[in-house]
Amino acid sequence: MQRRLVGWGAVLAMLSVGIGAFGAHMLKTVISEEYLKVYETGVQYHMVHALALILIGLTAGQWGESVRLRWAGRLIGAGIILFSGSLYILSTSGIKILGAITPIGGVCFLAGWICFAVEAFSRKN
């Protein structure tokens, strides 16, 4: 579990850098300033949560694997796809209905952090 989480976190962090660079260099003249801010929000949350996956993986290496840590990783990963992915598509396509998916990704982020916190507080050592 820990190697997968750290590995996926690293891959997703790399993608965040690439997607951010694409937005900064290729989309600046193509989409509106408002949509560029939406895109940048997606990139920021993408990177932070890619790093969270790495943190969860490293924590699993220290504490041992657990169901809560596994779910924390799954939920954070789903949040990146749903939250950031919907913002990327919304900002580049202008399809506003995709904004309805973004809060589902946000709930995934929250649930993932809750799983991580509950695991931390339930530890006796």
Within the chain, which residues score under 70 in pLDDT? 125
Quote the pLDDT of residue 98.
85
Architecture of domain 2-122: Up-down Bundle (1.20)
DSSP secondary structure of 40-106 = HHHHHHHHHHHHHHHHHHHHHHHH---HHHHHHHHHHHHHIIIIIHHHHHHHHH--GGGGGTHHHHH
Q: What gap in Å lies between CA 109 and CA 72, rounded to an integer?
A: 9
Quote the pLDDT of residue 21.
94
Quote the pLDDT of residue 79.
98
pTM of the predicted structure, to 2 decimals: 0.92
